[in-house]
Structure 1
Amino acid sequence: MLLICLAVIVLDGYDVIVYGATLPALLAYPEWALTPATVGLIGSVSTIAGIIVTLPAGYLVDRFGPRRVLLIATAVFSLGTLACGVAPSVEIFIVARFVVGLGLKPIVPACIVLVLEYAPVARKVFFGNATQTGWSIGGIIASACAVVLVPAFGFRPSYILGGVLLVVVFPFMLRYLPESLTYLARTGRVAEARAVAAQYSVDIEPLLAVDRTEPTGGRWDSLKIVLSRRYLRATIVFSVVSFLGFLLAYGIGTWLPAIMVKMGYPLGASISFLVALNMGNVVGILVAGRLADRYGPRATLAWSMLIAAVIFAVLSIAMPQVALYALIAAAGFGAQGTSVLLLTYTGTYYPTSARGTALGFVVGIAGFGAIAGPIVGGLVAGSTLAPAWNFYIFAAVAVLAGLSILLVPNHRAPGGEPAPVTGPALAEALAADIQGDAEQRDGSTPR
């Protein structure tokens, strides 16, 4: 099951990076005569579609089960990706990107819900992150394929390959993807839930023990939990930080090759920087998962974002290409890996009956950041500003995200109010955060 979710998110990550990897070829395609501002807007089309569908999809994951949502989303996604590769006009290409977005965005909430249910309790964050390394693996595949295919054949083969891979994975999903244990139990299929749990060696009893402090059984109860007084502050902070994180991920993922070309590097080397970016993501995501299980996801997120900000600022300085590859790989975790950890953190923060809705809400808001990233990059690329200004902007966003995540309530003070982050300095706040989060590293619901 974990491998199937990993494979689906690999293809998700492939699509996130394939547009950026093929962007120079799209700009150079004479039949369409695209400008930097135009390709920036096109890069946001799939994200606009995702915003439309993500929040309803998150609710549907809780209401009808993640398996059904994941199958439908993958089918839609594969058809849209294939259509991008054969689009006869820019208008058809835009429509195909919109269809891709409709299928792409529900994948993450559905996969995270499944993984967090079937993962060992003490390592939920690690397994949630490990599955989402698929984003970076998919980005590496997209970048590596683009290095070979784009200079010789243009942008079309990269999209066709992505669509074909999706078609190959789909039959395995039909055969081997299990349903959510919580969904099975909630719909009265307890015997089936126990059988599936036994098959995957999962202790189902905690899932069957309903938390009586939360509303249950109503059609809109999952949404009520996410927006309740108990969780509202966390929901707002998760949404803001995910907006900033996705702005970074989509901005740097879309524009890195074009930025590096403008800074004087050849096209092949510039696309290769995407490979370094995503290899850094893979390693960073796994390391962060272990750190988050040990010290807490909030402290891990804050430190990672702040370190990434320093790296982005340094990337504006000319340096040997070997050092540049190393720094881009290190920046990869801050640009995209922290968005992965944030989603896993969100999934572990809420009750199982509201995880899909919470993730849908947060990813839906994050979609606006994913729209803003390519647009901001396009505006800077089309202006008279130096390419280094992209890195300055990304550094500022990373600082803001790293400080904002500290506002997530770590525990409840007496009387039910969120305990504020205390300490006269950031270092003290982070130290207190590590100590507090370590007490909750099993992913239990905050009290």
Structure 2
Amino acid sequence: MERNVLKEMNHHLMSRYQWFVIFLCICLNIIDGFDVMVMAFTASSVSAEWSLSGAQIGLLLSSGLFGMATGSILLAPYADKIGRRLLILICLAIAGLSMVACAVVQSHTLLAVLRFITGIGVGGILASSNVLSSEYASARWRSLAVSLMSTGYGIGATLGGILSLVLIEQFGWRSVFLAGGLTTLLMLLISLWYLPESLDYLLTRKPRQALQNINAIMGRIGLNPLEQLPRYEKAAQQSGSDVAKLFQGPLGIQTLCLWLAFFLVMFGFYFVMSWTPKILIAMGMSADQGVSTGILISIGGIFGAALIGLLASRIKIFYALNLFLGLTALSVFLFVAVSSQVSIALMVGLCLGTLINGCVAGLYSISPTIYDAGIRSRGVGYAIGFGRIGAILSPTVAGIFLDQGFAPATLYACYGIVFILAIFLILALGRAYDRHKKDQVSSLNTAI
């Protein structure tokens, strides 16, 4: 009887090597969080040097996000063709070199272009590392592994904020980009040496020396080696025609709700993460206090992703996500109201960071459960891509509103409503998902 390697790994106890691979993926996400959020922490210094308007700063903040969307959509399919590992290495090189180039740029236009290129690399890394961490986790720990991936983003953003406080004061804002670029290139060398290829890719594509590489990985995991490659194939190769499958029958409402929820949550998330330090400084906080609040929001993100993953092990992920969305909306409403009291604002900022990052991690955990294996990668990828549209628009829209004279309190209130709207979408998604599963079980019982 032919062995099913992936099924064996799904039901095998997680080995140290599997956790090590997931740790490497978290490190990749740390690099991504640093590279993406560094613009938010340097925005005030960049704006002061070049006398930029709110819309121009918004463009700088959005350009990296636009690059991430482009990288996720255009580069992700290549992970199935050339391998997760090779794509990650290429994208690390793109992100690292463009970050270094940002340190010597002499105009905000060229900086925006380089931020777009950095985003392309980051988008490719995110698309591949999330898949890799999921594929190396057993069925029992897969949701936690995906949630832990999101903690890396908060760690990277936190380190970016701390470095910004130190480096900007001593060497100027350019040094922050240089540090980020060199760190990314260091991660490239580490990944080149330690990061393995996906078992799923090796079994499906069967590249040269596939059996040798598979057995080496299986030995580290604790599984018996194969004598020959199994006749393992995906249920179907992903292609453009599969997009229509995302909207077939009862799956259509689930896909629509998931896409819109991603859009709204990313729209609110990137406003809070990108604009908070600058807005608080404009409202009267010192530069150090504004950046410190932004750092605390990022620190909260380290715990938020893990917290919702643990909560989801006890209650349905849909309920856990709605709880986080409601508390996030409340925190956004409170945040500006207490901004004049620095100590309270810092505490609320920490809670806000915990909750808002948990919302993003919750969506990442839900999305793979919606789709069958044959269309799962494309379904998740398009949902994330649609969410990136909200991420791209959010900082620029906020900049335009601020230029038009919108009060910060009013702006934060509007973004708080965004999270309330997302609650209704997740409620609808949960009901549609439950009905779909019941119909599938009913059909199976009838067939039996």
Report if TM-score (shorter chain) is over 0.5. Answer: yes
* Shift in Å, 1:390: 2.5
Give the aligned partner of residue 42 of structure 2: 22
* 1:305 and 2:303 correspond: no
* Residue of structure 2 aligned with 1:126, choices 144, 161, 168: 144
Does 2:30 correspond to 1:10?
A: yes
* 104 and 293 in structure 1: CA distance in 2 versus 1, 3 angstrom threshold: same
Unmatched tracts of structure 1, length 5 or more: 419-447
Q: Which amino acid aligns with 2:259?
A: S
Q: Which residue of 1 is the match for residue 415 of structure 2?
A: 394
210 and 391 in structure 1: CA distance in 2 versus 1, 3 angstrom threshold? farther
Question: What SS does structure 2 have at the residue aligned with 1:86?
Answer: coil
Aligned residue identity for 2:408: P
Report the more deviating stretch, 214-223 or 96-105: 214-223
Q: d(CA) in 1 for partners of 2:152 and 2:231?
A: 32
Q: Is the 8 A contact 1:245 1:336 kept in 2?
A: no
Query: Residue type of the partner of 1:363?
Result: I
> Is the 8 Å Cα contact of residues 58 and 358 (structure 1) preserved in structure 2?
no
Q: Which one of the candidate residues 86, 104, 114 is aligned to 1:68?
A: 86
In the other structure, the counterpart of 1:107 is 125
Shift in CA distance, 323/199, structure 1 to aligned 2, threshold 3 Å: same
1:336 alignment counterpart? 357
Q: Which residue of 2 aligns with 1:176?
A: 194
Aligned 8 A contact 2:276 2:290 in 1: yes
1:348–1:111 distance in 2 versus 1, CA, 3 Å: farther
The aligned counterpart of 1:383 is 404
Amino acid of the structure 2 residue aligned with 1:329: L
**Rounded Cα–Cα distance in structure 1 between residues aligned with 2:377 and 2:365:** 12
Counterpart selection for 2:177 from 141, 144, 159: 159
- Residue in 1 aligned with 2:18? none
CA deviation after TM superposition for structure 1 residue 115, in Å: 0.8
* Amino acid aligned to 2:171: F
Percent identity over paired residues: 24
Cα distance in 2 for partners of 1:329, 1:234 equals 32
The range that moved more, 403-412 or 348-357, is 348-357
Rounded to whole Å, the distance in 2 between the matches of 1:239 and 1:67 is 28
The Cα of 1:62 is off from its aligned counterpart by 3.4
Change (3 A) 1:309 1:392: same
Determine the C-alpha separation between the residues in 2 that align with 1:401 and 1:267: 33
Q: Deviations over 1:332-353 (max 9, x none)?
A: 1333331123123223443455
From the superposition, tell whether residues 37 and 90 of structure 1 become closer, same or farther in structure 2 (CA, over 3 Å): same
CA shift at 1:378, angstroms?
0.8
What is the aligned counterpart of 2:276 among 235, 256, 261? 256
In structure 2, distance between residues paired with 1:355 and 1:197:
25
**2-side partners of 1:311 and 1:363: how far apart?**
25
Q: Within 1, Cα distance between the matches of 2:361 and 2:388?
A: 14
1:271 aligns with 2:291: yes
TM-score norm. by structure 1 comes to 0.85
1:224-278 deviation per Cα after TM superposition (whole angstroms, max 9, x unaligned): 6545446433332222111111112211111101111122110001000111101
**Per the alignment, do residues 203 and 303 of structure 1 end up closer, same or farther by CA in structure 2, a change over 3 Å counting?**
farther
**1 CA distance for matches of 2:193 and 2:412?**
45
Q: Is the 8 A contact 2:279 2:408 kept in 1?
A: yes
Q: Deviations over 1:277-308 (max 9, x none)?
A: 01111111111111113323221111101111
C-alpha spacing 1:356/1:71, structure 2 compared with 1 (3 Å): farther
2:381 matched to 1:360? yes
Distance apart, 1:361 and its partner CA:
1.1
Letter in 2 for 1:281: G
Relative to structure 2, which stretch is displaced further, 333-342 or 225-234?
A: 225-234
Residue 316 of structure 2: aligned partner: 296
Contact 1:20–1:253 (8 Å) recurs in 2? yes
What is the deviation of 1:199? 1.6
Structure-1 residue corresponding to 2:265: 245
Distance in 2 (alpha carbons) for counterparts of 1:287 and 1:49? 29
- Root-mean-square deviation (CA), in Å? 2.7
Maintained 8 Å contact 2:235/2:374: no
Q: Which runs of 5+ in 2 are unaligned?
A: 1-20, 443-448
3-state SS of the aligned residue for 2:404? coil
Q: Which residue pairs with 1:95 in the alignment?
A: 113
So what's the TM-score if we normalise by structure 2? 0.85
**Counterpart-to-counterpart distance in 2, 1:350 and 1:111:** 19
Cα separation, partners in 2 of 1:154 and 1:123, compared to 1, 3 Å: same
CA distance in 1, matches of 2:25, 2:85: 10
Counterpart code for 2:411: N
Whether the 8 Å CA contact 1:242–1:365 is kept in 2: the answer is: yes
Count of residues in correspondence between the two structures: 413
Contact 2:102 2:178 in 1 (8 A): yes
Q: How does 1:200-211 map to 2 (within 5 A)?
A: 200-201=221-222
2: CA distance, partners of 1:399 / 1:109: 28
Distance 2:252 2:350 in 1: 35
Cα distance in 2 for residues equivalent to 1:78 and 1:141: 16
Q: Tell me how far 1:222 sits from its aligned partner.
A: 5.9
Per-residue CA distance 1:66-125 (angstroms, 9 max, x = gap):
222211111111111111111122232122111111111122221111111112321211
Q: Secondary structure, in 3 states, of the residue corresponding to 1:133?
A: helix
Q: Which amino acid aligns with 1:173?
A: S
Q: Is 1:410 paired with 2:406?
A: no
